[in-house]
Structure 1
Amino acid sequence: MINVAIVGTGNISNLHVQGLLEFPERCKIVALCDIYPNKAESIKEKYNLGSDVRVFADHKSMLASDVKIDLVHVCTPPYVHASISIDCMNAGKNVLVEKPMAASLEECDRMLEAEKKNNVTLGVIAQNRFRDGVYKLKQLAKSGLAGKICLARVDSQWWRAHCYYDLWWRGTWEKEGGGPTLNHAVHHIDMLNWIEERSPVEATAVLTNVMHDNAEVEDLSLACLKYEDGSVAEVISSVVSHGEEQGITLQCADAKISMPWSLKAEVGMENGFPVDGGNTELIEKINKFYDELPDLKYEGHTGEIDDYLSALENGRKPLITGEDGKRTIEVITAIYVAGFEKKTISLPIAENSEYYKADGIQKNAVHFYEKKSFVENFTEEKITVGNY
């Protein structure tokens, strides 16, 4: 039985609790921690977790307590992901940290060092890998049936009302670490890295804030990533998009495959123009491959929690490792640097770059607006986490 503690009991913690409760024979929630203990008490009551579940106001007192903890889920605002995760790993606990992994590459590296030093397992939430459509798109891309990827388009389009950034930690470079490029597109950039199985070598970007004058950070960014072979990926990160349409389109050498699922495959006439109806033989072959892929047993957070628990039980790495989390942060950092400096940025980002550390990002970040007031908590718990 794996004893689990959850640090941070805001909205996203609900998905962690729900996922953990799917596996009562494998894990048990034994502690909840939040700087607002009443929020932790509410979660405890909402899910009827039992009177023996301890509630703490800070993670250090939790770690110093006599509660036996094997695994800590870190569900706090991004600016303390690294410090809390490192404290927990130094105390010998395994850690599953919410996205984004950390606010800087330097923090990512310190987390990876703590994992190695303490012989524990670090996992990073990127739950959309555990969606049937995304998983099948990955398998299809890997099969090579559509040919090499020439152009990828990532749509991380969300909508958030003006009041979304009223929450005390949101909309600041110091505490949230950025806008939708970091906190929303992190899912889709992780998917892109996973599907491509490589990292870009250049990034160009435009950052802006067009709807949220209560936030320092961007609410919209457009980025172009270039790979060593000359292929590119375009990434839209937005919280101004009505309809919240998200997905990934891969224009490959022989076919277009995308999620939500769509397939096109052209074949040329003698003059180079496409034949009516496209490459019917390839379309049939790809559809057959796609349809025969089995569905995942669990999706979303539950799917990732299942994989992470299996990793602990079997002594292996989880599907989404700390190294994966760092690769995603590196791409996001490059997008921010390109936007700040208004020029193309090369990857990887070296340790001697001023953007390697969070204070370098904060020093150079564009403040679109200044946050002058805030609220401590919202009462509404319902959130959207997307399907792709």
Structure 2
Amino acid sequence: MSERTYRAAIIGTGGIAHAHAQAVQGSGGRAELVAVADVDAGRAREFAAKYGVPHAYGSAEELLAAQRPDLAHLCTPPALHTPLALACLDAGVTALVEKPPTLSLAELDTLIEAEARSTAHVATVLQHRFGAGAVRLRRLAGEGRLGRALLATCDTKWYRDEAYYAVPWRGTWESEGGGPTMGHGIHQFDLLLSVLGPWREVTAVAARQARDVDTEDVSMALVTFESGAVATVVNSVLSPRQTSELRFDYEHATVEVEHLYGYTDDDWTITPAPGHDTLSELWGQDRSSASSGHSGWLAAVLDAFDQGQEPPVGTADARRTMEFIAALYASAFTGERVQAGQITADHPFALRMDGTGAPWRKSP
């Protein structure tokens, strides 16, 4: 049991905010939702009434000034993440930011600099890292039970129609920061990166195949890791049969998961190589029925708070994933291989994810 109950707030009461509210309510008293804010004050009041929250505000500034919570869940459209996270840091409030954390590497570096001056932190909500299957996989891999990682595949094949993109902030570089690479596939390839470790090189393509948007609607990448492992990454919003799949081929076993928006242990399989049958027994230990949703992620955040530590997926950790995204776009739009560390502060793809411009960019 936590030593204290942390005071939480939600800023932005759209769809994903409900998952955050439910996670707080399901925390067993470790956190309590004390306030919400939304630019639509009426929607904020409705949300507060639904979840029994005592205070609702029409702006984040009002909420932070009046309540000074321990943590603020930022559930707004992506373009607001950086200014709101900066406001939280100025107020000494830890910001828990929905993906993507910022629109660019430059914005993330701004948060890193501001965080160094604050008593608070910024952490990104990448909940699939915290499901039981992912935790087990990293543990077995770290113990050397699976042997060397050889290759992996990472597919986010979802379907989003024109009505989805009728929301004004979707499908633009200025407000969403990118297409499925930035806003959809990030969960799967962030999990891939958390398992396989630092990446070394990216070769990619991106295309606008079917949706009338400014960003890509599909991307593909070949990735080489420092360990020598290689992987493919596919991000799509054009796939009528939707799936989220990860496959890891190690020397001693293949480990796979297939789900859509969240997995349980039932979605994972392990196939041992000949002579390594005991791995099935190891994988089957400590099975969990919990989903890789916001509840497990929030529990990890609160554990860190209890121990006086930075919450998981902090700015340095999130930067590695964001650098991967920038490298994917840079490779796709320039036709070049991109190395880790190549996108420096003044690089066009550090300043904007579309960098020098998507090849299909509309003329002004």
SS, match of residue 316 in structure 2: helix
Aligned to 2:265: none
Return the offset for 1:227. 2.2
Q: Describe the SS at the equivalent of 2:210.
A: coil
User: Which residue does 1:350 correspond to in 2?
Assistant: 344
How far apart are the structure 1 equivalents of 2:207 and 2:349? 19
Question: What pairs with 1:263-274 in structure 2 (closer than 5 Å)?
Answer: 263-266=270-273
CA contact (8 A) 1:142 1:195 kept: no
- The match for 2:226 is 228
AA aligned opposite 2:200: V
Instruction: Name the structure 2 match of 1:40.
Output: 44
| Conserved? CA contact 2:149–2:250, under 8 Å | yes
Residue 121 of structure 1 contacts residue 312 of structure 1 at CA under 8 Å; is this kept in 2? no
Which of 256, 264, 271 is the aligned partner of 1:258? 256
Q: 1:50-83 CA distances to partner (integer Å, 9 max, x unpaired)? A: 4x31222x2223323x324221111111122111
Instruction: Give the TM-score of the pair, scaled to structure 1.
Output: 0.84
Question: What is the aligned partner in structure 2 of residue 129 from structure 1?
Answer: 129
Q: Is 1:29 the equivalent of 2:33?
A: yes
Deviates more, 1:28-37 or 1:81-90: 28-37
Aligned positions of 1:228-377 closer than 5 A? 228-260=226-258, 261-266=268-273, 279=274, 281-282=275-276, 284-295=277-288, 299-348=292-341, 349-358=343-352, 361-362=353-354, 364-366=356-358, 368=360
Name the structure 1 match of 2:61.
60
Larger Rg: 1
In structure 2, the residue matched to 1:83 is 83
Structure 1 counterpart of 2:270, one-letter code: L
TM-score by length of 2: 0.90
Q: Deviations over 1:330-385 (max 9, x none)?
A: 10110011111122111122223222223xx34523164769xxxxxxxxxxxxxx
| Secondary structure of 1:307 counterpart | helix
Q: Secondary structure at the match of 2:155?
A: strand
Deviation readout 1:144-183 (Å, 9 max, x if unpaired)? 2221111111111211122111101000000000011011
Unaligned ranges ≥5, structure 1: 267-278, 372-388
The match for 1:379 is none
Q: What whole-Å deviation, never above 9, does each CA across 1:274-323 have from its counterpart, x for those lacking one?
A: xxxxx1x31x2110110113437674101111111222222023332222
What percent of counterpart residues are identical?
31
Report the Cα distance in structure 1 between the residues aligned to 2:355 and 2:191, rounded to whole angstroms.
Answer: 29
Aligned to 1:12, the other structure's residue is in SS state: helix
**What is the root-mean-square deviation in Å for CA atoms of aligned residues?**
2.2
Deviation, 1:265, is 4.3
- More RCO (CA 8 Å, sep 6+): 1
Number of the residue aligned with 1:270:
none
| Structure 2 match to 1:216 | 214
- Whole-Å Cα distance in 1 between the matches of residues 228 and 346 of structure 2? 27
- Single out whichever of 169-178 and 222-231 deviates more from structure 2: 222-231
Greater strand proportion: 2
**1: distance between equivalents of 2:226 and 2:27?**
43
Q: Do the aligned residues in 2 keep the contact of 1:97 with 1:125 (CA within 8 Å)?
A: yes
Please report how far the alpha carbon of residue 205 of structure 1 lies from its aligned counterpart in structure 2 after TM superposition: 0.7
Q: Retained in 2: the 8 A contact 1:123–1:321?
A: yes
**Aligned-residue offset at 1:45:** 2.4
2:45–2:56 contact (8 Å) kept in structure 1: no
1:97·1:124 contact (CA, 8 Å) conserved in 2?
yes
- Whole-Å separation in 1 of the counterparts to 2:271 and 2:289: 25
Query: Is the 8 Å Cα contact of residues 180 and 239 (structure 1) preserved in structure 2?
Result: yes
The answer as to whether partners of 1:101 and 1:326 remain within 8 angstroms in 2 is: no
Contact 1:155 1:235 in 2 (8 A): yes
Hey, what's the Cα distance between the residues in 1 that align with 2:289 and 2:316?
Answer: 24
Partners of 1:366 and 1:139 in 2: how far apart?
40
Partner of 2:204: 205
State which drifts further: 138-147 or 98-107. 138-147
Structure 2 counterpart of 1:13: 17
Give the conservation status (yes or no) of the 8 Å contact 2:330–2:355: no
- Deviation per CA, 1:213-262, whole angstroms, max 9, x where unpaired? 2x111111110111235431110101112232112111222332222433
